[in-house]
Amino acid sequence: MSDVIVIGAGPAGLAGAIACAEFGLKVTVLDEFFRPGGRLLGQLYEEPSGNWWNGIKEAERLQQKTKDLAIDVRCGVSVFNLEKDELLWNVHTNAGSMKASYVLVATGSAEYPIPVPGWTLPGVMSIGAAQVMTNVHRVQVGKKGIIIGANILAFAILTELQLAGIQVDRIVLPEKSPISQEAGEPEEVLKSLLSAAHLAPSLLLRFGSVFMKNGLLRKIALNFYPKGGMKISGTPLQLRKAAMEIVGKKQVEGVRVVDITPNGATVPGSDKIYEADFVCIAGGLYPLTEITAVAGCPFQFVPELGGHIPVHSEWMETPLQGLFVAGNITGIEGGKIAMAQGTVAGLAIVKRSGKEAGSIDRLLQKSVDYVRDVRQHAPIQFNPGVDEGRQTMKELWVSKYGKEGKVIS
């Protein structure tokens, strides 16, 4: 039997497993994908320092470490239930059940779909699907594509598609609706893009990002927004156009697009069909929390972190004894932060197991500080309010369960 079962072999889960194994705990990692790495696989961008962040390489580095430490990493295993008996956690999977004293849930995040009419046609995929097909499988997703949704992930992956030589014809917004909400309002989109200045520097330089913080100027800028859009390394970003329908008989043939006002209202009679053989929908990310929900973990709604989040301490401990969380399940952020959080969770498990009485407190504190440090220098940030979100969760924990390190229920 393992001491620790880690659910999810992304950066958070792997880093957590490694921290546990370095202190002699026996660890099993489960993941339903066919290889470890989670959403690191496919990430590829140039950091402001000029270095390339290559997620595949990072995943291979972590995988090598798990081998060196004799961690049992099992791919192709889906976890569907998690429950506790008097002493142990029971993890139920498609390959049978197993038990451990400690469980780290690091299931990451998933993408919101935006149900544009026609979105079930073959050739329509989430933006993340295109990332994996391009950088991991190395198969062309199509000859000419249109991205629906203008957010940070869409820009990051647009650049990756361009790098691989795949033509993206344009980026347009989804039609404003109760589901697309702010993603369908040019003004709101522009506001959120300011936090991604380094991913679309040419665009924001032209607008002057300083002035753009002012709401009135933003409105004026949008009124004069060029009809053809502004280009992000060759691909026009059309903030004043919205996708009404994806058209095609047996697969994608094009997108029917309409002009929109700065607050997202459609301009009648402005419809036009643009040809494409693939469409990527970029709806944004939400934490994948089902497993902690079925385990009975309490939740808190923290919009800055991406939605309903399992309550956890800065040690990544939940109120349920022996249950830990790390990575995007605790809030939507980039790969480096997930990795740093995984280390915290791993060290916290080591502490709770009583394995390393001496130096663990200091190491744990250092790892918590390191997460903040990485966050400050993160090359990609999905939500500008993430610091407040983390603070909200921390305060909630302290008010309910006291400071970290206290023995919990």
Partner 1 sequence: MTRLLDHPILGKLPERKAISFQFDGKNYEAYENETIAAALLANGVRTLRLHEESGKPRGIYCNIGHCMECRVTVNGQPNVRACLTIVQQGMVVESGKQLPNAIKRMEEG
Q: Which residues bind partner 1 (CB under 8 A)?
A: 32-34, 39, 44, 52, 54, 56, 76, 78, 110-111, 113, 120-126, 128-130, 132-135, 137-142, 163-165, 250-251, 288
Residue (9 or 347) nearer to ligand FAD, CB:
9
Residues 6+ apart with CB under 8 A from 61: none
Instruction: Tell me the sheet residues that pair with 84.
Output: 89
Q: Between vectors from CA 170 to CA 167 and to CA 175, what angle results, nearest 5°?
A: 140
Return the residue of 264, 310, 327, 346 that touches ligand FAD, per CB under 6 A.
Answer: 327
The gap between the terminal CA atoms of the chain, to the nearest Å, is 24
User: Quick check: 156 binds ligand FAD (CB under 6 A)?
Assistant: yes
- Here's the x/- map for ligand FAD, 18-57, by CB under 6 A: it reads as ------------xxxx----xxx--x--------------
Distance set, CA 160 to CA 42, 47, 226, 285, 355 (Å): 9, 13, 25, 18, 44
DSSP 21-45: HHTT--EEEEESSSSTTGGGTT-EE
- The distance of closest approach from Cβ of residue 289 to ligand FAD in the complex, given in angstroms and rounded to an integer, is 10
Fill in the amino acid letter for 93.
Answer: T
- The distance of closest approach from Cβ of residue 385 to ligand FAD in the complex, given in angstroms and rounded to an integer, is 17
- The distance of closest approach from Cβ of residue 361 to ligand FAD in the complex, given in angstroms and rounded to an integer, is 25
Residue (107 or 353) nearer to partner 1, CB:
107
* Cα torsion 141, 147, 152, 155: sign: positive
Strands 235-247 and 230-232: antiparallel
Return the residue of 128, 142, 248, 254 that touches ligand FAD, per CB under 6 A.
Answer: 128
| Integer Cα distance of 32 and 93 in angstroms | 10
| Integer Cα distance of 396 and 372 in angstroms | 18
Q: In this structure, what token pair is assigned to residue 41?
A: 């696989």
DSSP state of 80: E
Cβ(16)–Cβ(345) under 8 Å?
A: yes
Fill in the amino acid letter for 238.
Answer: Q
Cβ(4)–Cβ(17) under 8 Å?
A: yes
- The distance of closest approach from Cβ of residue 110 to partner 1 in the complex, given in angstroms and rounded to an integer, is 5
Q: Which does 52 bind (CB under 5 to 8 A by kind): partner 1, ligand FAD, none?
A: partner 1
User: Quick check: 285 binds ligand FAD (CB under 6 A)?
Assistant: yes
- The distance of closest approach from Cβ of residue 159 to partner 1 in the complex, given in angstroms and rounded to an integer, is 11
User: Quick check: 389 binds ligand FAD (CB under 6 A)?
Assistant: no
User: Quick check: 106 binds ligand FAD (CB under 6 A)?
Assistant: yes
- The distance of closest approach from Cβ of residue 18 to ligand FAD in the complex, given in angstroms and rounded to an integer, is 13
- The footprint of ligand FAD on residues 328-357 (CB under 6 A) is 328, 334-335, 338
- Residues in binding contact with ligand FAD, number by CB under 6 A: 36
User: Quick check: 196 binds ligand FAD (CB under 6 A)?
Assistant: no
3-state SS assignment for residue 369:
helix
User: Quick check: 103 binds ligand FAD (CB under 6 A)?
Assistant: no
Backbone φ and ψ for 175, nearest 5 degrees, come out as: -65, 140
Q: Taking Cα atoms as reference points, which of 51, 48, 52, 68 lies closest to residue 60?
A: 68
- The distance of closest approach from Cβ of residue 234 to partner 1 in the complex, given in angstroms and rounded to an integer, is 15
Q: Which does 40 bind (CB under 5 to 8 A by kind): ligand FAD, partner 1, none?
A: ligand FAD
Backbone φ and ψ for 331, nearest 5 degrees, come out as: 150, 145
Residue (161 or 244) nearer to ligand FAD, CB:
161
Q: Which does 296 bind (CB under 5 to 8 A by kind): partner 1, ligand FAD, none?
A: none
Give the binding site for ligand FAD (CB under 6 A): 7-13, 30-33, 38-40, 43, 78-79, 106-111, 128, 131, 153, 156, 285, 288, 291, 327-328, 334-335, 338, 380
